[in-house]
């Protein structure tokens, strides 16, 4: 029994995948706090689709994935900003237009020039087999960068996330803070997408953070509970995927979703008990 549980650790491809999935869970959990609290889920979803276009284009042209997809993500971000500035369109529609167009370009490019189905599937659903040492490094560096950024600028981030108008007046450079959060988000999607896949990455950004929100009323505590939940989902999901012979990324998301449901059910009962005891002052 125990031997079966430890069996996958004998394969280096599994260990690499496990490391990246766990780190990716933690990283997405951490940034997911901002995504959830600012109502940016759609941006996360859109950015991953935009990056898909970049990934396809760089594969076709033959340049490094990180460079090609990175530039593509920045260009998409700028385009979204420009289109959203025309007030009659609105940011959500701008994201919808730019990112789905980018996604469509990616699909068309891979159909026309790529090695057909296999590579498309790998990008859409992620691939653990393709994980290299470089991926572990990339995720680790970005995770460290994001963690340092959040610890150093904690109050500015909190203020700008909670109350951007007042933060601006009080001297916080909100536009700068927002740009940094967007950049961190793009970097996170860039380095985790090859493992988790375009279609499922936004779930990893949202589920651990939403789960942690139900567990605490404190922003500071959310910022460590959410990455811990994300990491657990990554670790447990990868192991379960091996034993159940299911897709790694889908199993990671399912693990996170099971956690969400469990917490939802538990806090629902607790919440109802608490409401019964509320006394008004």
Partner 1 sequence: MNSLAIPQALIECHELTCAYDGAVAVDDVSMAVRRGDFVGVVGPSGSGKTTLLKAILGSVQPASGHVHRLQNLKMAYVPQVESVDWNFPVTVLETVVMTRTRNGWWSRMAKEERDQAERVLHRLGLVDVSARHIRELSGGQQQRVFIARALFHRPELLVLDEPTSGVDVRTRHEVLHLLADLHDEGLSIVLTTHDLNGLAAHLPRVVCINRRIVADGSPRDVLTPVVLEQTYGAAMEVLIHGGMPVVLESGADHVARRLSKLTTS
- What is the C-alpha to C-alpha distance for residues 68 and 5, in angstroms, rounded to an integer? 39
- Cα→Cα distances 267→217, 235, 246, 271, Å: 12, 24, 30, 6
Q: According to CB under 8 A, which one of 67, 152, 179, 244 is a site residue for partner 1?
A: 152
Q: Does 244 participate in binding partner 1 (rule CB under 8 A)?
A: no
Question: Which 31-60 positions form the footprint of partner 1 (CB under 8 A)?
Answer: 37
Q: According to CB under 8 A, which one of 89, 108, 151, 175 is a site residue for partner 1?
A: 151
For the CB of residue 225, give the shortest distance to partner 1 in the complex, in Å. 11
* Span from 63-71, 156-164, 198-206, 258-266 in contact with partner 1 (CB under 8 A): 156-164
Q: Does 89 participate in binding partner 1 (rule CB under 8 A)?
A: no
- What is the C-alpha to C-alpha distance for residues 93 and 95, in angstroms, rounded to an integer? 5
Question: Which 187-226 positions form the footprint of partner 1 (CB under 8 A)?
Answer: 213, 216-222
Q: Is the dihedral of CA 143, 149, 152, 158 positive or negative?
A: negative
For the CB of residue 158, give the shortest distance to partner 1 in the complex, in Å. 5
Q: According to CB under 8 A, which one of 162, 175, 266, 268 is a site residue for partner 1?
A: 162
Q: Which is nearer to partner 1, 87 or 112 (CB)?
A: 87
Phi-psi region of 180 (alpha: psi -120 to 50; beta: other; left: phi over 0): alpha
Residue 73 structure tokens: 């993500």
**Is-contact 23 231, C-beta < 8 A?**
yes
- What is the C-alpha to C-alpha distance for residues 137 and 140, in angstroms, rounded to an integer? 5
* Span from 67-75, 168-176, 180-188, 228-236 in contact with partner 1 (CB under 8 A): 168-176
Q: Which is nearer to partner 1, 94 or 109 (CB)?
A: 94
Which are the contacts of 187, defined by CB distance < 8 A and separation ≥ 6? 70, 142, 145, 146
Interface residue list for partner 1 (CB under 8 A): 37, 87, 151-152, 154-156, 158-159, 161-163, 165-172, 213, 216-222, 280-281
């Amino acid at each position: 029994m125990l031997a079966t549980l430890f069996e996958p650790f004998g394969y280096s491809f599994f260990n690499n995948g496990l490391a990246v999935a766990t780190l990716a869970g933690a990283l997405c959990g951490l940034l997911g706090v901002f995504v959830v609290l600012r109502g940016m889920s759609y941006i996360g979803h859109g950015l991953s689709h935009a990056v898909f276009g970049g990934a396809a284009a760089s594969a076709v042209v033959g340049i490094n994935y990180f460079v090609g997809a990175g530039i593509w993500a920045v260009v998409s971000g700028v385009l979204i900003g420009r289109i959203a500035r025309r007030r009659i369109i609105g940011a959500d529609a701008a994201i919808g237009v730019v990112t789905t167009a980018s996604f469509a370009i990616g699909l068309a490019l891979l159909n026309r020039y790529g090695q057909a189905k296999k590579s498309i599937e790998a990008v859409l659903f992620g691939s653990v087999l393709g994980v290299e040492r470089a991926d572990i490094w990339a995720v680790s560096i970005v995770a460290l960068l994001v963690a340092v950024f959040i610890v150093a600028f904690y109050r500015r981030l909190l203020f700008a996330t909670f109350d951007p108008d007042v933060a601006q007046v009080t001297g916080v450079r909100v536009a700068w803070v927002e740009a940094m959060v967007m950049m961190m988000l793009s970097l996170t999607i860039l380095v985790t997408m090859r493992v988790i896949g375009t279609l499922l990455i936004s779930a990893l950004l949202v589920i651990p953070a939403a789960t942690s929100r139900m567990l605490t009323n404190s922003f500071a505590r959310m910022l460590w509970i959410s990455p811990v939940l994300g990491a657990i989902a990554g670790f447990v999901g990868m192991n379960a995927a091996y034993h159940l012979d299911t897709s790694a990324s889908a199993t990671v998301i399912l693990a996170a979703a099971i956690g969400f449901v469990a917490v939802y059910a538990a806090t629902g009962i607790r919440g109802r008990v608490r409401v019964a005891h509320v006394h008004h002052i």
